[in-house]
């Protein structure tokens, strides 16, 4: 197929060529001085992306691994953990917790809303014996395009006067949506390389608060690969306790350069502005988005609900075939009912508008009723948009 | 600037990453067996792109060099050459001919039309002494987006019964617009790497008819670097008489793979379809294109005329700044009055629509009056377009 | 520093540029058809490298993760596992087993010999209650350059009539030293990407026998990320249960092409021949190698013992500084006493001889007494060597 | 073939991966602001490599083109030019001059010595009518590995009080051997990208003295592509009069970074030191080098004479086949009698010693009588060599 492919799933995202070029430089000795300098730099600079001055652990493993790491470093078998079913990924994380032998209390959800902080607070207040050891929520639910108010969850925990740790998955928001590990009092933040960090998959992260680290001292879950302490001890010297993903770290250094050059605030604004344009386009077409409340709609992706009777998967296949644009599929209960547009990572206006145009062409080709002109409406939004009308996330 | 740059000048074009990866493989010995195999393959396969079974010479030099090569291999100092002022590049070529000591007869033109074959015929008929040794025309005038009917020029020469050679510049049409060196009786076809061949600049070509080769035996223009005979003698053995651009040849092999995979007919149709969509968009905005007759409008680029009083260069600067889309500037007498959209080489629908959207945004930002909705109209054209309504080139 | 760096630690190895170029191609949708085709191909073809027709699991994690995967999928907390202290990595693996709550029986070793199959047999015979659930050994001990006879270990288990599973680490032998998962009756083989597979670190493997898979059904160790069953179920459809390392898989496809082009037998012979040359050179210098018995000396790396009183780390630093050659350091009890030469992955004779020459220069620069002429003696070995005199591995 | 290829012809040289990565970044608009910044930087910085404060012209063409440029910009048809037959390339240049219609006075040579300044002086003194317009010599004759004393040639011209221009080919010495365009009073220096500048072939250079530029005003040779004035006028604005080799210029910027990081003096010393080691090795084997006088032996390459009866080409083929080392062939009268070792561009000690070892292996495999131990003798030279015993170049 001629032309450049557009990877517009909500991650992995399009890796900038500068980053790919850095990854393709030769592998270096992970015990040598050049690596040490690289490691020290990325370990220090990655903190800024998480909004923390505390250590961030970098695993040579994809994001699901960092979910596991957050659990096994802080909890003991049988510990109770409070989770919120915001969508497919929150559900998968809760299933993982169960498989690891935790006692999961999963607050049911409609997959269209963020975490209900009031229910978290109620649940914690009801936990007189303080059996709940952690609250684990997803900041940006990649399956639905709904973000949750993490600061509100922290306030809920504090109001309940509950000692539970706060674990947050930011895999698809990190580096795209404003996030503040320290300010929001998060204990473990889970991140991945292949979304806002603009890298291929293969690195994942745990930002760790002092409270979380203290909890790990007594956490009884068996662990080795994911263990924080060995990692932190090695990291202090600029090394890793086992072979790190050297080439991806070479890429991470360049990705951090790019984020720093643009400035994190500008990065967040760029995502908000794009999200607003996408949603105007979707509404113009006449479709609903999965987020029930626009104030919770994600700045990083938009899940679009097709009218009943139309196959989102058939639409995606048509668009991929016609236009080399990859869109995200509906997951779990949303299979074939929604498609997801990733607007995160490295993109600009013509990329965004080109994708929307490809979707509009696909709607036409599939005979899905819609009002044409969506692209123009996105274009108008981008052109006018100093202040997006629909604020995403916080 | 975040996001991928769009290089939408009418060449150099966006080099596919497969091609860039081949160019970035290590340089090989240009006198060794691996190179010999590569050279034999590309020398053979490039002929298909020119529509010839005759040899094609590959210079390690950019396209202007191949213009010079066409002249110095076929002509002698003081020889008369008939040229047609179709635009800036035709003018530059005529200026080169003069500087090389040729006696140029440049048929004046309005920069909005292709070559007038009837005038060529008239001029040749008037040349009773057969002083005109060559007719040299540009197939696709990159400064105006106007193509010329080369078959008609050949018929004109034949009707005049004139022995003049036919030299044709296809730098910006080769690999994008249907072209037939043998069938149309062209003697020397001049090409470059950085347009439809999807390579960076640095290679250029002469396809050479037996008549042209015979003429070179007596052509008296001093020449060495550009000389065909040493080149052809070396090429026969799979080598070059001096150091070739090895890495670009590595890229050329992959570019030829891609053209062959898509099929030349599909490549030409893709360009026609894109050109049609671009022109519908431009007309929707309310602008004229530089080509006076739509039947001559190029399938590879569109030069857009802005209303009087608006600066095309300011618009281009805004679009580059806002959207990382590079557009071609107006050249010569068209400076600041037109901008040129390259739609050639490696592209697909979302790329094309993204570019048009970026231009529409730029028009808005610069306050240039236009009817919005151009992108939708291009989109509709692409969606419906099995048969483009406006045929380009022949 | 001018010139190409030589990464001659015993892994990560020098990634061929073809492989790096494949890794640097854009990330693709891990749920799309292009990925599915890629996944099916590498999942099938990787089996040949392990010598198995059974499934091989590919983790998006570095090698230490695959150690953990082998343990948590087959064992239950408190299970007894018999291990052999062949060196630093065997010790690390046993330490991991302990941290995961297993009851480790570590047969002590002198770090100069391979696994003693007779002792394994004796230990198993003594285990009347069949409490030992697994025997876990390292095929090629990367810290010492000593290989173990895995077929002999299998025979020992069989002779003892013991049902223990056989788990084998081939991280630094896979793709370099002959290995036969099926023929040798191995239950879980652990591999990594960054050694004989010539990739950067970031992928790791479990080849799984039917017996191992059956054991996993009742294994009680908590697991999620490392769980085989979800992985195998997804792999059957050409996908992964969570985000795989797409770009490294793109590289793996090319690495497998290269191994298949050369032929695994030729690959093994190339490593044996190189190892023989290196050892002749080391002996010529007058140094001992760490392997006590030449028949156990590794074909993939050589650990060289320096005379007492000389610092191996100072030598390595000098060589890195002078020659951009990275050598492996002594680990654990061998710290500063040995240096390790990696001769595995992608190399040829001039690379090998260049490295040995750099080491000889370093010996001179550090004033470490040695007999000069080592390189010539390696050269003679390579020149004459159709049959290496010192067979490595089995 | 496994392992990294060694491109040890005396150019093109091994392009560093940093440079290849820069070349493989996307093509940019050669009329846009990013390009302008790049062009200004490389046009300024390249002067330092030539040892000049005067303009250096960069052609998008390989080195032979810059030979032609030097001639056609300074001379008129029929002009007399004094050249010196130092080897194959000097002969080719003189042949080019003849084909361009110049009256060449070629001082015969034995292909083993540099330019004889005394003969130049005598010839100029004998030229009472001042018919000789230029003296053109090769600084480093790539076919023989013999350098010429350019400062001595300038002194000869001055002593003769002759106004002839001094044209010098530095294609295979530039960036490898000390060269001083201004200090030595050179009028046109011809260079290429693919040797000491560590780029692929495709760029070539003319450094131009004010005298040369003045001469070009009256030079009557027809020229267009090679014309200096249009180029210099465009360059002043940071642009080029026709499409430049944008991607190679991206690479050039990085190559200049590398040369500046190392420092030109260090670069020259590195080449001298390597050349000394290579020659010790060759002498140890028992072979002569082509340079008759060691003081003229090139720091960039060594042409090795095989004993009568042995085929240098068969040896080269064996070495390429065994070791993936490409060596230069004998050219012209030296065909099959010498082979040439390139030791220029980007290399370090292990690369150099690995190549010599590969040659020694090839000698063994071909049964060419030689004294073994050459590599050790090179190694000793490198180890001891603070001051090379055999000075190359000036």
Instruction: Answer whether B21 sits within 8 Å of C25, measured CB to CB.
Output: yes
Taking 50 as the pLDDT cut, the residues of chain A under it are 386-394
The distance of C363 to chain D (nearest Cα, Å) reads 10
ipTM of the complex: 0.96
Place of tokens 């996408």: A278
**Chains with 3 or more CB pairs under 8 A to chain C:** A, B, D
C147-178 pLDDT per residue, tens: 999 999 999 999 999 999 999 999 999 999 99
pLDDT in tens, D136-145: 999 999 999 9
Question: Which of A357, A359, A362 to mutate: most B Cβ within 10 Å?
Answer: A357
* In the block, residue with structure tokens 């210079």: B59
Q: What mean pLDDT is reported for chain C?
A: 96
* CB neighbour burial string for C81-99, b if at least 16 within 10 angstroms, e if fewer: bbbbbbbbbbbbbbebbbb
Contacts of D375 in chain C (CB under 8 A): 353, 357, 375-376, 379
Element holding A168 (H helix, E strand): strand A165-169
The separation between CA C269 and the C-alpha centre of its own chain, rounded to angstroms, equals 17
Residue of C nearest to A326 (CA): C29
Across the range C308-318, mean pLDDT stands at: 98
Question: Is the sign of the CA dihedral A381, A385, A390, A392 positive or negative?
Answer: positive
| Local confidence band at B385 (pLDDT 50, 70, 90 cut-offs) | low
Half-sphere exposure of D209 (CA within 13 A, CB side): 19
Residue range D183-205, pLDDT digits in tens: 999 999 999 999 999 999 999 99
Closest chain C residue to the Cα of A250, Cα to Cα? C200
pLDDT, residue A385, reads 61
Task: Decide if D26 and B20 are in contact by the 8 Å CB cutoff.
Answer: yes
How close does chain B come to D358, measured CA to CA in Å? Answer: 17
Residue B363 predicted with pLDDT over 80: yes
A-chain residues near B273 (CB < 8 A): none
Q: Residue C27 is nearest to which of A64, A96, A200, comparing CB atoms? A: A200
How many Å lie between the alpha carbon of A387 and the closest alpha carbon of chain D? 30
Which residues of chain C lie closer than 8 angstroms to B251, CB-CB?
none
Please indicate whether, in this complex, the C-beta atoms of B361 and A346 are within 8 angstroms of each other: no
What is the distance between the alpha carbons of residues A325 and A158, in angstroms, rounded to a whole number?
A: 45
Q: Which of C64, C192, C246 sits opposite A225 (nearest CB)?
A: C64
Q: Is C111 left (phi over 0), alpha (psi -120 to 50) or beta?
A: left
Inter-chain residue contact B7 with D24, CB threshold 8 Å: no
How deeply is C134 buried, as exposed, middle or buried, from its count of CB atoms within 10 A (0-12, 13-18, 19+)? buried
Mutate one of A60, A142, A220 to test the C interface: name it (highest C CB count within 10 A). A60
**D255, D193, D212: which is closest to D59 by C-alpha?**
D193
**N residues, chain D:** 394
Tokens of C21: 């170029």
Which residues of D have a CB under 8 Å from any CB of C? 1-4, 6, 14, 16-17, 258, 262, 267, 270, 322-325, 346-355, 357-358, 360-361, 364-365, 372-373, 375-376, 379-380, 382-383
Taking any CB pair shorter than 8 Å as contact, residues of chain D touching chain A are 17-18, 21, 24-26
Distance from CA of C323 to the nearest CA of D (A): 6
pLDDT digits (tens, 9 = 90+) for B101-129: 999 999 999 999 999 999 999 999 999 99
Mean pLDDT of B39-60: 98
- The whole-angstrom distance between C264's CA and the closest CA on chain B is 24
- Are B349 and A360 an interchain contact pair (Cβ–Cβ within 8 Å)? no
Report chain B residues whose CB lies below 8 A from the CB of D79.
none
Closest B-chain CA to A363: B383
Interface mutation vs chain B, best among C14, C20, C21, C24, most B CBs within 10 Å: C21
The confidence band for B227, taking pLDDT boundaries of 50, 70 and 90, is very high
Which residues on D lie below 8 Å from C25 (Cβ)?
Answer: none
pLDDT of res. B1: 84
Distance of CA A45 to the CA centre of its chain: 19
Check residue A25 and give its pLDDT. Answer: 95
Q: Kindly state the tokens that stand for C275.
A: 């190892």
The answer to whether D224 contacts B99, with C-beta atoms less than 8 Å apart, is yes
Q: What is the CATH number assigned to the segment(s) A6-12+263-384? A: 3.90.1150.10
Residue B291 confidence (pLDDT) above 50: yes
Check C376 against D380: CB less than 8 A apart.
no
Give me the mean pLDDT over the C337-361 stretch: 98
What was the pLDDT predicted at D387? 40
pLDDT exceeds cutoff 60 at D29: yes
* Per-residue pLDDT band at D385 (split at 50, 70, 90): low
How far apart CA C322 and CA D137 sit, in angstroms, is: 37
Chain B residue numbers with beta carbons less than 8 Å from the beta carbon of C19 are none
The reply to whether residue D29 touches residue B21, judged by beta carbons under 8 angstroms, is: no
Written out in words, the top-level CATH class of the domain with range B17-260 is alpha beta
pLDDT digits (tens, 9 = 90+) for B55-103: 999 999 999 999 999 999 999 999 999 999 999 999 999 999 999 999 9
- Residue span(s) of chain A under CATH 3.90.1150.10 come to 6-12+263-384
CB contact under 8 A, A351 and B354: yes
**CATH 3.40.640.10 residue spans of chain B:** 17-260
Instruction: Identify any residues that bridge with D132 across adjacent strands, giving them in sequence order.
Output: D80
**What pLDDT, on a 0 to 100 scale, did the predictor assign at position A386?**
47
Q: Would you say residue B147 has pLDDT above 60? A: yes
Strand pairing partners for C340? C303, C328
A174 CA to chain B: closest CA distance, Å? Answer: 16
The Cα of C4 is separated from the nearest Cα of chain B by a number of Å equal to 12
Q: By CB neighbour count within 10 A (0-12 exposed, 13-18 middle, 19+ buried), where does D60 fall?
A: buried
pLDDT at A49: 98
- C-alpha distance from B21 to closest chain C C-alpha (Å): 6
Residues from chain D contacting residue A251 (CB–CB below 8 Å): none
Look at phi and psi of residue B103 and say left if phi exceeds 0, alpha if psi is from -120 to 50, else beta. beta
Chain B nearest CA to A277, separation (Å): 13
Q: In the predicted model, is pLDDT for residue D392 greater than 60?
A: no
Q: Measure A123 CA to nearest chain B CA, in Å.
A: 43
Q: Which chains form contacts with chain A, at 3 or more CB pairs under 8 Å?
A: B, C, D
Chain C contact probe: residue of A19, A26, A28 with most C CBs at under 10 A: A26
pLDDT at C311: 98
- Chain B residues lying within 8 Å of A365, measured CB to CB: 383
Strand partners, B169: B138, B190
At residue C384 the predicted structure's pLDDT band, cuts being 50, 70 and 90, is confident
Taking residues D37-44, report their average pLDDT.
98
Taking the CA atoms of residue D195, residue D199, residue D204 and residue D209 in that order, the dihedral angle to the nearest 10 degrees is: -70
Q: What is the pTM of this model?
A: 0.96
CA nearest C20 in A: which residue? A24
Question: Cβ of A349 and B361 within 8 Å?
Answer: yes
The 10s digit of each residue's pLDDT in C45-84 is 999 999 999 999 999 999 999 999 999 999 999 999 999 9
In order of A80, A91, A94, A103, C222, the CA distances from A98 in angstroms are 10, 11, 6, 6, 9
Element housing D302 (H / E): strand D301-305
The stretch B311-337 carries a mean pLDDT of 98
Closest approach of A372 to chain D, Cα-based (Å): 34
- Inter-chain residue contact C21 with B24, CB threshold 8 Å: yes
Give Cα A350 distance to the centre of its chain. 24
- pLDDT at position C394: 33
Closest CA in chain B for residue D62: B60
User: Which residue of C1, C2, C24, C175 to mutate against D (max D Cβ within 10 Å)?
Assistant: C2
Whether residues A62 and C60 touch (CB distance < 8 A) is answered with yes
Answer yes or no: do C60 and A201 touch at CB < 8 A. yes
């Amino acid at each position: 197929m001629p032309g450049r492919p557009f990877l517009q799933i909500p991650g992995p995202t399009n890796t900038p060529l500068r980053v790919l070029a850095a990854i393709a430089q030769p592998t270096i000795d992970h015990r040598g001085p050049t690596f040490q300098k690289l490691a020290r730099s990325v370990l220090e600079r990655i903190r800024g992306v998480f909004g923390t001055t505390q250590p961030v652990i970098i695993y040579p493993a994809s994001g699901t691994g960092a979910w596991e790491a957050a659990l096994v470093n802080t909890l003991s078998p049988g510990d109770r953990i409070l989770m919120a079913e915001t969508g497919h990924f929150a559900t998968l994380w809760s299933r993982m917790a169960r498989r690891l032998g935790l006692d999961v209390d999963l607050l049911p959800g409609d997959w269209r809303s963020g975490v209900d902080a009031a229910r978290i607070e109620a649940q914690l207040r009801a936990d007189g014996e303080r059996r709940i050891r952690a609250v684990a929520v997803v900041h940006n639910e990649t399956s639905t395009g709904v973000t949750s108010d993490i600061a509100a969850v922290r306030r809920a925990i504090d109001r309940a006067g509950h000692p539970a740790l706060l674990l947050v998955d930011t895999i698809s928001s990190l580096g795209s949506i404003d996030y503040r590990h320290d300010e929001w009092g998060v204990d473990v933040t889970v991140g991945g390389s292949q979304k806002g960090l603009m890298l291929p998959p293969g690195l994942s992260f745990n930002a760790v608060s002092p409270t979380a680290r203290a909890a790990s001292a007594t956490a009884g879950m068996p662990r080795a690969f994911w263990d924080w302490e060995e990692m932190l001890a090695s990291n202090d010297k600029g090394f890793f306790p086992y072979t790190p993903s050297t080439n991806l770290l070479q890429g991470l250094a360049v990705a951090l350069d790019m984020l720093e050059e643009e400035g994190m605030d500008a990065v967040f604004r760029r995502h908000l502005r794009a999200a607003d344009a996408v949603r105007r386009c979707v509404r113009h077409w006449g479709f609903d988005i999965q987020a029930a409340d626009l104030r919770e709609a994600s700045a990083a992706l938009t899940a679009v609900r097709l009218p009943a009777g139309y196959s989102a998967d058939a639409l995606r296949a048509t668009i991929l075939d016609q236009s080399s644009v990859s869109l995200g599929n509906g997951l779990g209960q949303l299979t074939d009912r929604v498609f997801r547009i990733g607007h995160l990572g490295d993109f600009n206006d013509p990329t965004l508008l080109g994708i929307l145009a490809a979707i509009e062409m696909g709607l036409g080709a599939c005979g899905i009723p819609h009002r044409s002109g969506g692209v123009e409406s996105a274009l108008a939004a981008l052109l006018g948009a100093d202040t997006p009308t629909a604020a995403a996330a916080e």
